[in-house]
Structure 1
Amino acid sequence: MTEAELRMRADARRNRRAILDAARDLFTERGDVVQIDEIAERAGVGVGTLYRHFADKKALLAAIVGSRFEAMTAVAREAEQVEDPGESFRALLLGYLETAETDAAYRLAVLGPEEPDWQEINDEKQQFGEIVERILARAIDAGHVRDDFTSADFVLITRGAMANMTQGRDWRRHVELLLEGIRAAASR
């Protein structure tokens, strides 16, 4: 729970949680076409209550991403503890994607036409990014990953895999092919 949520009254926390749960469910069911009033109705709150918590759909998507980034950061911390640098990177990548696979609303927020408001979740994103950078540096230094691989490339791989998580596509095959391509020449 965020510091802001802790300062809220209990009923406000319940409303915020109900709105996020409803938005997550509706985005999962119908994608980005969901309207704010539908989310409010599913959450059992008025549109005004929704707007008191989230200025617009972009802020709502940012909150969904922010709540998932907490789980992603936990996955990254666990992967960072893996001693072998190559396995640490693999654990990070697969752990991130397995977590994303269970949350279609998160994937919509990251891949959809509405770019989340990253300012709203800057702290979570920064924590995650710092861990990713450390894991990448270890994997590169150990020769498990090519030396020109960056955190931006990590984003490309994860977005590509997430785009292949629908309609029975084999995102794991996608990732295995990409892992072959980013492996350092000496370890191929």
Structure 2
Amino acid sequence: MARLDRLVELLVAENERQNLIARGTIPMVWQRHIVDSAQLLTVPRETLPKGAWLDLGTGAGFPGLVIAALQPQRPVTLVDSRRLRTEWLARAAAELGLSQVNVVLSRVEDLPDQTYAVLSARAFAPLDKLLTISSRFSTPETMWLLPKGAKAAQEVAILPETWRHVFHVEQSLTDPAAGVIAGRLLGGHPPKPARQSGAASQRGSRR
């Protein structure tokens, strides 16, 4: 709790210099950001696997930095493509004494191949797109934890059948209208784009 208290202090102070979170959410920062992130440790129906955690598009460190504060012995990699964000994340992790946190300035597409025990992304991209760019970080044992809004169940329902998975939606503990997609990706790949006919391709090339 001391680490989380300090994290909130650092977050609010830095928010005066760069827009980490919407100002309107500061009065409810514990529910909206801290508890919303921490719930990922309890939401899944099964015990979380031990090992490295990858948080994609971490932004202000949600959920990854909160997870690291609660489980300081777990290696947690925070990825974001904005330099100011990653510079602050590195300072915050050092301030909190979280030596197991690795902050990476990168687009997800440019990350080197490596697999992780847990993979999270908070409203980073639609599920199908997220799997397309991130499935290479996963094994059939990897637990995916994806906080989503009201369309969580719909995103799972419309996922192409080419993805083999055991995803389900858990009710968010902090927002009755939101859900958390949880589960494992067993394999598969994004569907191939439909091939154009010769005539259509020629018309397209003349445009």
Normalised-by-shorter TM-score class: under 0.3
Report the TM-score when normalising by structure 1: 0.27
Structure with the higher strand share, 1 or 2? 2
Greater relative contact order (CA < 8 Å, ≥ 6 in sequence):
1
Report the TM-score when normalising by structure 2: 0.25
